[in-house]
Amino acid sequence: MKTPSKSPAGFTLIELIVVIAILSLLSTLAVNRIGAIRERAARSVSVANQLATGRAVETFLAANDGKLDRLDSLLDAGTSSSPGGGYDYAGRGAAGTVGGLYRGPDDNTSEPVRERNAGLYDEGPSSLAEVLCLYRVNEDEAAALRRIGLRYVLRHDTYAAGTAHSHYGKGDDGSIPSPADGLDPELSACIATTVTNGLAFAAIDATREPGRAIYRACGQQLLSTEPSGNYDRDAAEAEIAATGGPLLALGLGTGATIVGAARGGIDSVPSSEIIPSKYYRHYILLFRLRTLPGTVVAEFAGVLDPSGHSIPSARLSLKD
């Protein structure tokens, strides 16, 4: 009789290690692939939001004779320890007399509150903070903004340690800041300031290439080029004036009249999922100040995502 053959031995240790390594590699590739698909989907939604926001603003302005009423300023309410906001366009007053670009509460505020309210997106090679500067409107420009219905801008509170906000008092419209335990990123534009002569706005910086690309996306053909990507200030401002005028940047936050309007407008404020939740995630409306013989007109010029991408730039990122 033949002796029954023995059952095959189980996996050796080396074989098990190889199998586990292969499974780990496959799972890593799958996770990375899923992450890339989700990011691409979020970017596609963001581009769709930009397009829809632009159409909604144009429809609202046509149907309501302007009446934007108020939009989020991208500047803070002004404290001595606030971070700077780049150069002051056209030299209209010292940049230090306003708080600068909104980067979140200052160092007097507790760390958990600062973490929830980091302000404008300023990380990475492309960010909103990279394309902004300060612009102080004159009397004619302020009147032009009021003619399209922009009566107030909502400044951001940089100091949120206490509950009373006694260092501010009321906004120009009588409102009082109310969040007690620090400012929620969705509610942080809370100090109403009247649009009037001398008021500082965030504007698109024409002295650096990221900002100049936005001007081009909005139809202003800036033909001069510099290998360094940085441009002489006086020459850049003269070129902007000759091609249409400066672009002001304002956030479409929850306080805008366009949100929930009976005629035109949008039902709710869209936010971008490609920006971390602690940052300002609303879309940015651009308004051009065009000087004509004897007058200045303010006109809607386009929409940026919270990273500072124009629609053509955001579409291009989908191909990368």
First to last CA, the chain: 71
CA dist., res. 219 & res. 58, Å (int): 16
Smallest CA-to-CA distance from 115 within 187, 191, 190, 183 is with 183
Mean of the per-residue pLDDT values for the chain? 79
pLDDT digits (tens, 9 = 90+) for 270-302: 888 888 877 888 999 999 999 999 999 999 999
Smallest CA-to-CA distance from 139 within 200, 89, 197, 92 is with 197
Handedness of CA 188, 190, 196, 198 (dihedral sign): negative
Cβ(41)–Cβ(122) below 8 Å: no
Mean pLDDT, residues 189-216 taken together: 88
pLDDT higher than threshold 90 for residue 130: no
Cβ(311)–Cβ(47) below 8 Å: yes
Say what the alpha-carbon torsion angle 164, 168, 173, 179 is, to the nearest 10 degrees.
-40
Mean pLDDT, residues 116-129 taken together: 76
Percentage of the chain modeled with pLDDT above 90: 28
Within 10 angstroms of residue 255's Cβ, the number of other Cβ atoms is 21
Mean pLDDT, residues 221-245 taken together: 86
What pLDDT score was predicted for residue 84? Answer: 41
pLDDT digits (tens, 9 = 90+) for 45-102: 999 999 999 999 998 888 887 788 889 998 876 543 333 444 566 555 444 445 678 8
Give buried/exposed letters for 275-299 (b at 16+ CB in 10 A, else e). Answer: beeebbbbbbbbbbbbeeeeebbbe
Least confident interval from 7-21, 219-233, 250-264: 7-21
